[in-house]
A = this chain, B = another copy of it.
Amino acid sequence: MSGLRARQKADRHRRIIEAAAALFREAGYEGAKIEAIAAQAEVSIGTIYNYYENKGDILGAIVSLEVNEVLNAGRGVVARPPANVGDALDTLIGIYIEHSLHYLSKEMWRQAMAISTQLPDSPFGQAYTGLDRSLTEQIRALIARLQEIGLVRQDIDGAALGELIFNNMNMMFIEFVKRDEARIPELRAAIRRQNRILVAAIGV
């Protein structure tokens, strides 16, 4: 039987994540002390470290939830893209960006990104790299779809193009979360402007 132990384990995981998410939002990442998370989750400090390697991994678990939602939302666009290269890209990127601040504050994003470059081999570091790869892959899939439909030239290097678009968007997003006063509409407009060069180059 998988019974009791597994159930308790899942329950503790959930309690830790919920406590951490609440405290991260209230007090910020640095402000949320492990001791407080432990108290709110009704486990000991040691138990937290039994479940997560370090504080960053707790945030990592939360970020992964959010990015997976974003990936899911993106699937719809890839399946039925707008009938225009520029709009198709803008729609997909729009979904990424608009969803991104649903559960995570800019401060949480900053921390998550920082941790993923600081400790690329930690569980979260690896997960984050995987998430980036999935997003790149989805953009690539969209381009492939547009090539099928005949909106993008067949001789375009889809892999390289997908990376280019993702990398640019991601870097823009990083700069966006670094400035608290930056706003989503301006971010999207800037990315559209950059992508316009590509759109002009790859359309049939």
Contact = CB atoms under 8 A, between A and B. Distances in A.
A190 to B, nearest CB: 8
A172 interface: yes
Of A111, A117, A156, A160, the most chain B CB neighbours within 10 A belong to A117
A8 interface: no
A115 B115 CA distance: 9
Contact of A167 (B110, B111, B172): B172
A68 interface: no
A200 B193 CA distance: 18
Nearest to A128: B178
A47 interface: no
Main secondary structure of the interface of A (DSSP, over half): helix
A160 B200 CA distance: 13
A157 B193 contact: yes
Contacts of A115: 114
Nearest to A166: B171
Interface residues of A, number: 35
A53 to B, nearest CB: 15
B113 A197 contact: no
B117 A113 contact: yes
Contacts of A160: 193-194, 196-197
Contacts of A154: none
A163 B194 contact: yes
A129 interface: yes
A200 B197 CA distance: 11
Contacts of A196: 157, 160
Nearest 3 interchain pairs by C-beta: A201-B201, A167-B171, A114-B118
20 contacts: A110-B117, A110-B118, A111-B118, A114-B114, A114-B115, A117-B177, A120-B178, A129-B175, A129-B178, A160-B193, A160-B194, A161-B194, A161-B197, A163-B168, A164-B168, A164-B197, A167-B194, A197-B202, A198-B201, A200-B201
